[in-house]
Chains A and B, each alone.
Chain A
Amino acid sequence: MKGRHGLIAACAIIYFFLMLPLLVVFPISLSSAPYMQFPPPGFSWQWYERYLDDPQWIDATWRSLYVGVATAVLALALGVPLAFSLVRGKFFGRGILDRIAMAPVIVPTIIVSVAVYGLFAKLKLIGMWYGLVVAHTVLALPFVVLVMVAGLRDFDRGLEQAAEGLGASRLRTLMRVTLPLLRPSLVSAGLLAFITSFDEVVVALFLSGANMTLPKKMFDNILMEIDPTIAAVSVMQIVLVTIVLVLIGRFGRGLSATAR
């Protein structure tokens, strides 16, 4: 029991130091002062109003949302078949493909950004939202593959055999048995891909040009004029990401099961 108390204390301290900077954002976003001040001198909704009234902020938010959704869709469309082939396929170069799929996690984002910038500049994709989707998909793909590979490794193929034995074609087996049973993994993979894109700033700095995503707009805002609007935006972003994580916990396959 004594060791357990120590563990709880350690966790509490870690949480305190990691979470506190995030929590400070909440009171600041409701501050009545025109500048960052803690503790805030009074209460006001003005920074939320300013965010909601500014078309640039709203524009950036929408862009981030649809870029995130498109990234999730594209990353699933590529990552799910890739995971199937990595787990079930037997072909030359499978090991290499496995490592290439994981490469974006290892290569520093700044290097990816510069490389993609060089390429997209030639293709005239800078400032195009779909260019950003392609680049974000590259970053999100490893997470999708990781989650799906773990899900597929645990999948009981006897169920697919049973389905085929009962008269189901390959396609109907996939639609009626395999994919429904993999739904928790699919949910986790899709939401992780969404967050990867929604939070991403480095690639967005290079690629989004004048059509900014939310993180890019926040970054610019900090550089140009620092006022508590940024705190209000942060709060909303934290809330949204928290909702997504709760969804993963509720409907997705637990990340602890994925890490095995």
Chain B
Amino acid sequence: MAPSAELRLESVFRRFGEVRALDGVSLAVESGELLTILGPSGSGKTTLLKVVAGFEKPDGGRVLVDGQDITSLPPAKRDIGMVFQNYALFPHLTVRQNVAFPLEMRNVARPEIDKRVGETLALVELAGYDERLPRQLSGGQQQRVALARAIVFNPRLLLLDEPFGALDRKLRETMQLEVRRLQRRLALTTIFITHDQEEALVLSDRIAVMNKGTIQQIATTTEIYERPASGFVADFVGESNIFYGTAGADGVVTLAGGRTLNVARKVPAGKNVGVLVRPERFSNTAINAFEGEVIEAVYLGSSFKIRLKTADDFAVIVRLPARGKLPAVGGRVSVGIEPDEIHVFDV
């Protein structure tokens, strides 16, 4: 099998009336990589996918696959496999006919079609379901058919548009891992769209966080989680405590109300910065202490989730390993955080 393609977008614009759905988006997806586009609804991520698939024409910019400009190519000529949000299986065709569809459209010979449909159905563990109609399948099975149909013709790219949204939690987790396994095995360049940050962290090689038609940050999953580039990314991905303040000398950030935090990163004095503290990074150290009243305490099995309110009016979310007794609401708790666990970002 030929190595999967690489995709490049060069300052792509798309406007709907006054709304800038895509406001100069540039990105590159490497061959065999799974890139997740993560963003809230209305961030432009679905428009981005449609531009790549060819269902939307951009107002400006270029889409390149392996260096070839496909911006004005119709969808049928792009050789891109896509799994739609609602699967879009053809209800009048059987599982076999659905999966055979893209091959028939490419005028592949009948024996070859039968062979590849059989192989692909086996790959998604649906062998034996050939003659069923989509409505006779469960949600997870329909999803597998949609996936089989999208990969059976060895597409240059695979696009997944929030495919797990309709599945229940357990099945969703199974399917996520299965899609990832399949994608790795076929080394298929894949763009995955979701608004679920947890899903993005599980599945991706890299994540592009989108908001208001622009890419806020594009980086590996750990980078996005540990070192978000902006308050938006920090807030959107994972639980977070975000504070804003002014950098002073020697790695000290002064927050509102005069509270100071010692941070590891050197920032020019006088600069306004944002500070991110992940709830699970708090410990019982005395450095950068937050002491306050417990407003809310929840037992989550593996951890306690505690909401603190300090005397100088800071609301802080803390996660502590679930050992011993859950702190009582109204009681007092003190936690601290090591300077190198604090992430400082520019504002």
Contact = CB atoms under 8 A, between A and B. Distances in A.
Nearest to B79: A167
A174 to B, nearest CB: 13
B84 interface: yes
Interface stretch (A106-114, A154-162, A198-206): A154-162
Given A172-B105, A181-B91, A161 B86 contact: no
A166 B102 CA distance: 5
B106 interface: yes
Nearest to B87: A162
Interface in A144-166: 156, 158-159, 161-166
Given A159-B88, A159-B90, A181-B91, A165 B105 contact: no
A36 interface: no
Given A158-B84, A162-B82, A167 B90 contact: no
Given A167-B76, A167-B105, A180-B92, A161 B55 contact: yes
A168 B88 contact: no
B55 A167 contact: no
A177 B90 contact: yes
A56 interface: no
B105 A166 contact: yes
A165 B90 contact: no
Interface string B67-96: 000000011111111101010101110000
Interface string A184-207: 000000000000000000000000
Nearest to B91: A181
A158 B55 CA distance: 11
B75 A158 contact: no
Contacts of B91: 159, 181
B153 interface: yes
B101 interface: yes
Nearest to B146: A162
A158 B146 CA distance: 13
A162 B105 contact: no
Given A158-B84, A158-B86, A165 B53 contact: yes
B153 A162 contact: no
Tell me which of B76, B84, B92, B106 has the highest count of chain A C-beta atoms within 10 A of its own C-beta: B76
A162 B159 CA distance: 12
B45 interface: no
B92 A158 contact: no
Tell me which of A163, A167, A168, A180 has the highest count of chain B C-beta atoms within 10 A of its own C-beta: A167
A169 interface: yes
The A interface is mostly helix, strand or loop, or mixed, namely helix
B149 interface: yes
B76 A165 contact: yes
B69 to A, nearest CB: 19
Nearest to B152: A166
Contacts, number: 58
Contact of B76 (A156, A169, A180, A181): A169
Nearest to B103: A167
A157 to B, nearest CB: 10
A177 B76 CA distance: 14
B153 A181 contact: no
Nearest to B50: A161
Contact of A168 (B78, B92, B105): B105
Contacts of B76: 164-169
Contacts of A162: 82, 84, 88, 90
A159 B149 CA distance: 13
Interface string A1-18: 000000000000000000
A158 B80 CA distance: 16
B55 to A, nearest CB: 6
Nearest to B150: A166
B92 A181 contact: yes
A161 B75 contact: yes
B96 to A, nearest CB: 15
B89 to A, nearest CB: 8
A176 B102 CA distance: 12
Contacts of B101: 163, 166, 168, 176
Nearest to A161: B55
B75 A165 contact: yes
Nearest to A170: B76
A159 B79 CA distance: 17
Contact of A167 (B53, B88, B102): B102
A180 B90 CA distance: 10
A168 B90 CA distance: 13
Contacts of B88: 156, 158-159, 161-162
B92 to A, nearest CB: 5
Nearest to B97: A176
B205 to A, nearest CB: 24
Contacts of B55: 161, 164-165
A121 to B, nearest CB: 48
12 contacts: A158-B88, A159-B88, A159-B90, A161-B88, A162-B90, A163-B90, A164-B55, A164-B75, A165-B53, A165-B81, A166-B150, A167-B106
Interface of B: 53-55, 74-82, 84, 86, 88, 90-92, 101-102, 105-106, 149-150, 153
What 3 pairs across the A-B complex have the smallest Cβ distances?
A162-B88, A167-B105, A166-B102
Given A158-B88, A161-B75, A166-B76, 7 more contacts: A161-B55, A164-B76, A165-B76, A166-B102, A167-B102, A169-B105, A181-B91
